[in-house]
Amino acid sequence: MLPAIAAPPQRLDQPDPLDHSFAQTYIRAYRWMLLARLTEEKLANLYRGGKVQGGVFLGKGQEAVSVAVGISLRRGDVFAPLIRDQAGRFAFGESILDCTRTYLGSRLGPMRGRDGNVHRGRPDEGMLPMISHLGAMIPVVAGTLLARKFRGQFGTVGATCIGDGGTSTGAFHEALNLAAVERLPLVVVVANNQYAYSTPNDRQFACRDLVDKAVGYGIEGHSVDGTSLADCLEVLGRAVDQARGGGGPQLVVASLLRLVGHGEHDDASYIDPALRNSSLGLDCLTLAEQHIVDSDWADGAALAAWKEDAQQQVEEAVATTTREPAPDPNEEDWCALASRHLRDGFVTE
């Protein structure tokens, strides 16, 4: 049988207004982005008020690409977010309490005060807790997929995010190469926000485009406009599908700008104003909201209600967390081993 003659594929940023499933996905993504943005704004406030333990690293401007990763994954997939992935975390299923509890030092958080903030995760639910060393999560995600391959388990995907700066690490290289050799369903998303802390791209790499690295690993490369939620949903969706379908590792490079400092201690004064004023400097959240309005997917009242709802979730989570106890060193067992009987009994404390 001949294949039916298909209509030319539609670009997702000009979607069929009747395509409810796309509109629904888009709105769902937008609402996670919104929740992430409001959560982070709250965290920034709390930080300035001295209420946060440790540093605060935010994802403002990176929500679209992050949420697109999280929303493209399914239960059973693996996700290793990095420091600017609050939106992706929510979309993948993280509860807002996991977030607030870690930042505000509640002992009920997933890391129990032992590790903090962006380092939280729940490996038993497929969300890996990052260590700080950039690039170091990529081989770990690859390993989860390798294990599944060994067991003949197919159809799941592992995704992880990294910055432009992180592509310079040996870990990035070794892990992508290993994943390529094993043709693992790994999606590596580079959020190219033009800077690594203060270091601009031209001091970080010399290739024309980071996506040019894909061919050197023999894997698929994708470029995406990180300010456009529609583009992010389409490209990440495609990359994740291809990985899931046996297409091997996928390298996705999103272009965007971080719209905050490296951390909340940083005023980002080093960012080139020309970049800020370029299309890279557009706010993906504002653009997404505009897109919803322009597409008539929701009216002002609905938007306000969503915002209200998100703000309420944030306030509730913070209020709950604030009433929770801090970790108590006397209740710590101070044993790094799972096999407690093998701890070295000699004490020099």
Partner 1 sequence: MITYLEAIREAQARALADDPRVYIYGQDVGAFGGAFKATKGLAKEYPGRVIDAPISEDAMIGSAIGAALEGMRPIIEVQFADFSTVGFNQVVNQAATLHWRTNIPCPITVRLPSGGTSGAGPFHSQSMEALYAHYPGLIVMTPATVEDAYSMLLEAVAIDDPVIFCEHKYLYYHLKADALPTEATPTGKARIARAGRDATIVTYSAMVHEAIACADELATEGWEIEVIDLRSVKPLDTDTVLASVARTGRLLAVGEAWPWGGVTAEIVARVATDGFGLLDVPPMRLNAKDTPVPFHPNLWGTHRPTARSIAAKLRDLLRL
Closest distance to ligand TPP from the beta carbon of 164 (Å): 4
The Cα–Cα gap between 299 and 314 comes to 23
Whether residue 186 contacts residue 161, with contact meaning beta carbons closer than 8 Å, is answered with no
Tokens of 297: 């997917």
| Residue among 220, 263, 265 at smallest CA distance from 241 | 220
End-to-end CA gap in the chain: 77
Tokens of 38: 């409001």
196 binding ligand TPP? (CB under 6 A): yes
132 binding ligand TPP? (CB under 6 A): yes
**Looking at 29-37, 100-108, 136-144, 155-163, which segment touches Mg ion (CB under 5 A)?**
155-163
Whether residue 254 contacts residue 285, with contact meaning beta carbons closer than 8 Å, is answered with no
88 binding ligand TPP? (CB under 6 A): no
**Looking at 77-85, 161-169, 224-232, 341-349, which segment touches Mg ion (CB under 5 A)?**
161-169
Closest distance to a second copy from the beta carbon of 163 (Å): 14
> Binding string, 236-255, against a second copy, x = CB under 8 A?
------------x-------
Tokens of 43: 């965290």
193 binding Mg ion? (CB under 5 A): yes
Closest distance to Mg ion from the beta carbon of 8 (Å): 36
| Residue among 106, 110, 116 at smallest CA distance from 93 | 110
Whether residue 222 contacts residue 211, with contact meaning beta carbons closer than 8 Å, is answered with yes
Whether residue 55 contacts residue 263, with contact meaning beta carbons closer than 8 Å, is answered with yes
| Residue among 13, 136, 154, 127 at smallest CA distance from 70 | 127
Closest distance to partner 1 from the beta carbon of 209 (Å): 17
Judged by CB under 8 A, the chain residues 40 through 99 that form the site for a second copy are: none
172 binding ligand TPP? (CB under 6 A): no
**Looking at 23-31, 100-108, 162-170, 300-308, which segment touches Mg ion (CB under 5 A)?**
162-170
**Which of the choices a second copy, Mg ion, partner 1, none does residue 193 contact, using the CB cut-off of 5 to 8 A by kind?**
Mg ion
Tokens of 27: 């709105």
**Looking at 1-9, 46-54, 174-182, 304-312, which segment touches a second copy (CB under 8 A)?**
174-182
Judged by CB under 5 A, the chain residues 221 through 260 that form the site for Mg ion are: none
167 binding Mg ion? (CB under 5 A): no
Closest distance to partner 1 from the beta carbon of 211 (Å): 18
Closest distance to a second copy from the beta carbon of 209 (Å): 9
Whether residue 272 contacts residue 195, with contact meaning beta carbons closer than 8 Å, is answered with no
Whether residue 256 contacts residue 193, with contact meaning beta carbons closer than 8 Å, is answered with yes
Q: Contact positions toward Mg ion, by CB under 5 A?
A: 163-164, 193, 196
